[in-house]
């Protein structure tokens, strides 16, 4: 028998297909997705070497992602083309679970052949891998450890050691992780940033398009924020904008601007396992990554680690304990907590925008997903933070479904507006010009440090002796929008409750490292806070500032030969000195002034005059006018009114 296993994400030219690594922890690899907004995308193309002339039976690992809603024609249909010949079976029609679907059989001569994924719909068809075998009964395992072992054997996967040893290894290239790795390098540490995508910035990248929230250079340590400013794009206003406004390249160029050569960046590499000291399992010695493109594995050794992955893949693999969901009032005694604990979290938002053309633009009249009507549709021209899904689901284990549900409801609603609504003439010239392929998460696992910060710490203005960078955003809790939740079996829109905070509140250093993993810092969404307190600290400038603190603490660890807890117990004065000085800024970098949105929305609010009766900030009349104007612009952009 002769066989060949081909990973779809490793195609030489992906064409219009995009690599999606979001469910890699469940599947073992990334996959290709035809993200075409209803217009078929260009073929993904590669070449294979066939060792033996024979008839090959060809299968693709795929799924019908809209089958879970049990209505209509499968959305993500595609075919396979071998040397330009289209195999007979339409793929992506095999049910809601990932499985091997036969594409056809074909005689292939020994030598080089071209393989193409040919999209038929533009509606997010997906392919994990393709398998060629001369045995018609040879079908690879469908999933789990069996498929993982099969994949490793067929791909010849074995971890290759990176030659270096790093002072600090950071997993996750959102704002928090990017800042942590850069700041550590600015302090002279040899740092490594591992990012599973081709861009940096996380929610502030062109893939998601969320502006940075929160303030830098405030509170007890006004010099914290230099590295955040260094990588922050100039664009500061709310609402999704064109890709170039998020300055993905600027974030990557910051690593190239590292004069000392201490900061290293590895894109398209995801942490898949952790190695610990046999004599002390609570001490991480190395992480193993898998390329989201080639599948190659690499082992990186380090002395200190920081998990900024958003879901805590590194921390969980190392055995760190975490919180998930909403704590009941009896857990921390918080007035904003509900009576009982639950798994409800703030959800994921798939932002989208539309454009008005000079002539009518068609959109497929789809029959899959939720059926919309005049009674339940939404007359929208864009989707911002309020487009939110997955509040009652597991944001780690069900991330593909959560993202897909947002895509489905957006496309199904838009199809109704364009093709059947009583106002369809108003939408005739409109087209969706961009929609996020992955969405942006608000909340996932929160890992437990030596202290868990709560609403009471913030509102009672508790000044912890190990306070660090300050929270500057209001308590900002998202909930499923009540009417939407009543109309549909599962909500896909949200509302927000804002409650002002009385002052700049420093996050305790003890929230920034894991309680039960000795050399692990926590960054981004993982920091040790209650659900309510997290809603205030979760914005990206704040998390970036806390990343600077973690980098400074790592420097103290290296100087004093201690672990993160040792900084708190014996050397916090040294960390305070570094926080007072701030992270050095490269001489080539001219730190810009505070942007207008940060200036009036945060800095002016940053006086933090708190009104106990109204529970909001006392704003100047000019600020109120600015916010009213922005609100009107927001409504016009999303409703046309």
Question: Per CATH, the architecture of 3-155 is what?
Answer: Sandwich (2.60)
CA distance 1 to 133: 7
Angle (CA) 416 421 425, round 5°: 110
CA distance 426 to 428: 6
Among 449-453, 567-571, 590-594, the minimum mean pLDDT is found in 590-594
CA distance 226 to 218: 12
pLDDT score for 489: 94
Q: How confident is the model at residue 587 (pLDDT cuts 50, 70, 90)?
A: low
pLDDT score for 592: 41
Average pLDDT over residues 538-549: 98
Among 48-57, 121-130, 535-544, 608-617, the minimum mean pLDDT is found in 608-617
Q: What is the pLDDT of residues 100-133, one digit of tens each?
A: 999 999 999 999 999 999 999 999 999 999 999 9
Q: What is the pLDDT of residues 468-487, one digit of tens each?
A: 999 999 999 999 999 999 99
Closest CA to 525 of 459, 439, 447, 436: 447
**Is residue 527 within 8 Å of residue 159, measured between CB atoms?**
no
pLDDT score for 258: 64
List 297's β-bridge partners, or say none.
Answer: 290
Token look-up 């006086």 returns 607
Domain boundaries defined on the chain: 3-155, 161-335+442-583+595-608, 348-441, 609-641
Q: Which helix (H) or strand (E) holds 144?
A: helix 144-155
pLDDT score for 519: 98
Angle (CA) 570 583 302, round 5°: 65
CA distance 198 to 206: 11
Average pLDDT over residues 30-34: 98
pLDDT score for 619: 37
Q: How confident is the model at residue 640 (pLDDT cuts 50, 70, 90)?
A: very low
Q: What is the pLDDT of residues 242-283, one digit of tens each?
A: 999 999 999 999 998 765 568 999 999 999 999 999 999 999
Q: How confident is the model at residue 630 (pLDDT cuts 50, 70, 90)?
A: very low
**Is residue 331 within 8 Å of residue 337, measured between CB atoms?**
yes
**How high is the mean pLDDT of the chain?**
91
CA distance 496 to 203: 19
Average pLDDT over residues 317-328: 98
17, pLDDT greater than 60 = yes
Q: Which helix (H) or strand (E) holds 540?
A: helix 540-560
Cα-based distances in Å from 628 to 176, 269, 614, 632, 634 = 31, 44, 18, 6, 10
Q: What is the pLDDT of residues 520-543, one digit of tens each?
A: 999 999 999 999 999 999 999 999
pLDDT score for 257: 77
In degrees and rounded to multiples of 5, residue 638 shows phi and psi of -100, -15
598, pLDDT greater than 90 = no
Cα-based distances in Å from 228 to 174, 366, 477, 582, 594 = 11, 44, 24, 11, 12
Which residues does 628 contact at the CB level (< 8 Å), separation at least 6? Answer: none
Q: How confident is the model at residue 625 (pLDDT cuts 50, 70, 90)?
A: low
pLDDT score for 604: 29
Which residues does 321 contact at the CB level (< 8 Å), separation at least 6? Answer: 447, 448, 515, 516
**Is residue 477 within 8 Å of residue 326, measured between CB atoms?**
no
CATH topology of domain 161-335+442-583+595-608: FAD/NAD(P)-binding domain (3.50.50)
Average pLDDT over residues 583-611: 43
564, pLDDT greater than 60 = yes
Q: What is the dihedral of CA 552, 558, 560, 564, to 10 degrees?
A: 60
In a 10 Å sphere around its CB, with 0-12 CB exposed, 13-18 middle and 19+ buried, how is residue 172 labelled?
A: buried
CA distance 44 to 492: 32
Q: Please indicate whether residue 238 or residue 598 has the higher confidence score (pLDDT).
A: 238
Q: How confident is the model at residue 566 (pLDDT cuts 50, 70, 90)?
A: very high
**Is residue 106 within 8 Å of residue 66, measured between CB atoms?**
no
Q: What is the pLDDT of residues 502-525, one digit of tens each?
A: 888 899 999 999 999 999 999 999
CA distance 327 to 575: 32
Which residues does 487 contact at the CB level (< 8 Å), separation at least 6? Answer: 376
Token look-up 């810009």 returns 592
- Percentage of residues of the chain with pLDDT beyond 70: 91
Q: Which residues of 177-186 are buried (b: 16+ CB within 10 A; e: fewer)?
A: bbbbbbbbbb
CA distance 51 to 178: 44
Q: What is the pLDDT of residues 417-430, one digit of tens each?
A: 999 999 999 999 99
List 114's β-bridge partners, or say none.
Answer: 47
Token look-up 């913030």 returns 458
pLDDT score for 588: 52
10, pLDDT greater than 90 = yes
**Is residue 228 within 8 Å of residue 205, measured between CB atoms?**
no
């Amino acid at each position: 028998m002769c066989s060949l296993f081909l990973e779809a994400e490793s195609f030489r030219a992906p064409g219009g297909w995009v690599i999606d690594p979001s469910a890699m922890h469940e599947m073992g690899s990334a996959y290709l997705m035809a993200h075409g907004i209803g217009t078929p995308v260009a073929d993904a193309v590669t070449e294979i070497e066939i060792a033996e002339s024979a008839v090959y039976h060809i299968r693709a690992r795929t799924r019908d992602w809209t089958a879970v809603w049990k209505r209509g024609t499968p959305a993500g249909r595609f075919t396979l083309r071998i040397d330009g010949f289209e195999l007979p079976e339409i793929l992506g029609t095999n049910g809601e679970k990932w499985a091997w679907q036969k594409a056809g059989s074909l005689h292939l001569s020994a030598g080089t052949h071209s393989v193409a994924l040919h999209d038929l719909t533009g509606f997010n068809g997906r392919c994990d891998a393709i398998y060629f075998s001369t045995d018609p009964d040879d079908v690879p395992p469908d999933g789990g450890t069996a498929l993982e072992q099969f994949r490793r054997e067929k791909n010849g996967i074995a971890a290759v050691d990176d030659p270096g040893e790093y002072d600090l290894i950071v997993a996750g290239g959102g704002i928090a992780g990017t800042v942590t790795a850069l700041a550590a390098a600015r302090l002279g540490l040899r740092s490594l940033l591992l990012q599973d995508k081709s861009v940096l910035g996380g929610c502030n990248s062109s893939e998601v398009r969320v502006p940075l929230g929160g303030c830098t250079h405030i509170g007890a340590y006004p010099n914290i924020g230099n590295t955040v400013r260094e990588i922050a794009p100039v664009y500061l206003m709310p609402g999704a904008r064109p890709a170039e406004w998020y300055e993905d390249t600027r974030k990557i160029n910051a690593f190239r601007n590292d004069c000392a050569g201490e900061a290293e960046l590895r894109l398209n590499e995801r942490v898949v396992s952790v190695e610990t000291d046999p004599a002390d399992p609570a001490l991480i010695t190395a992480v193993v990554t898998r390329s989201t493109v080639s599948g190659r594995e690499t082992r990186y050794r380090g002395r200190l680690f920081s998990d900024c992955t958003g879901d805590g893949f590194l921390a969980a693999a190392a055995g760190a304990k975490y919180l998930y969901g909403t704590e009941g009032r009896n857990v921390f005694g918080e007035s904003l907590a509900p009576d009982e604990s639950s798994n409800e979290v703030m959800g994921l938002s798939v932002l989208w925008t539309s454009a008005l053309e000079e002539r009518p633009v068609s959109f497929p009249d789809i029959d899959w997903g939720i059926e919309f009507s005049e009674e339940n549709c939404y007359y929208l021209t864009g989707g911002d933070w309020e487009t939110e899904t997955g509040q009652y689901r597991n944001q780690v284990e069900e991330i593909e479904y959560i993202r897909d549900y947002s895509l489905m409801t957006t496309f199904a609603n838009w199809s109704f507006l364009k093709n059947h609504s009583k106002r369809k003439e108003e939408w005739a010239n409109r087209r969706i010009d961009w929609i996020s392929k992955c969405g942006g998460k608000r909340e996932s696992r929160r890992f437990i440090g030596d202290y868990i910060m709560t609403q009471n710490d913030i509102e009672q203005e508790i000044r912890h002796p190990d306070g660090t960078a300050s929270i500057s955003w209001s308590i900002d809790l998202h909930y499923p929008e009540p009417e939407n939740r009543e109309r549909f079996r599962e909500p896909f829109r949200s509302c927000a409750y804002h409650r002002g905070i009385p002052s700049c509140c420093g996050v305790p250093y003890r929230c920034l490292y894991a309680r039960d993993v000795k050399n692990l810092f926590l960054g981004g969404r993982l920091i040790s806070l209650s659900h309510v307190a997290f809603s205030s600290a979760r914005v990206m400038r704040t998390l970036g500032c806390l990343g600077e603190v973690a980098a400074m603490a790592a420097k103290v660890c290296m100087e004093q030969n201690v672990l993160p807890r040792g900084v708190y117990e014996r050397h916090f004065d040294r960390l305070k000195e570094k926080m007072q000085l701030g992270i050095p800024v490269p001489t080539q970098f001219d730190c810009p002034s505070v942007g207008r949105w940060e200036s009036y929305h945060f800095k002016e609010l940053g006086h933090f005059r708190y009104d106990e009766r109204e529970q909001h900030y006392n704003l100047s009349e000019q600020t109120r006018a600015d916010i009213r104007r922005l609100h009107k612009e927001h409504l016009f952009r999303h409703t046309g009114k």
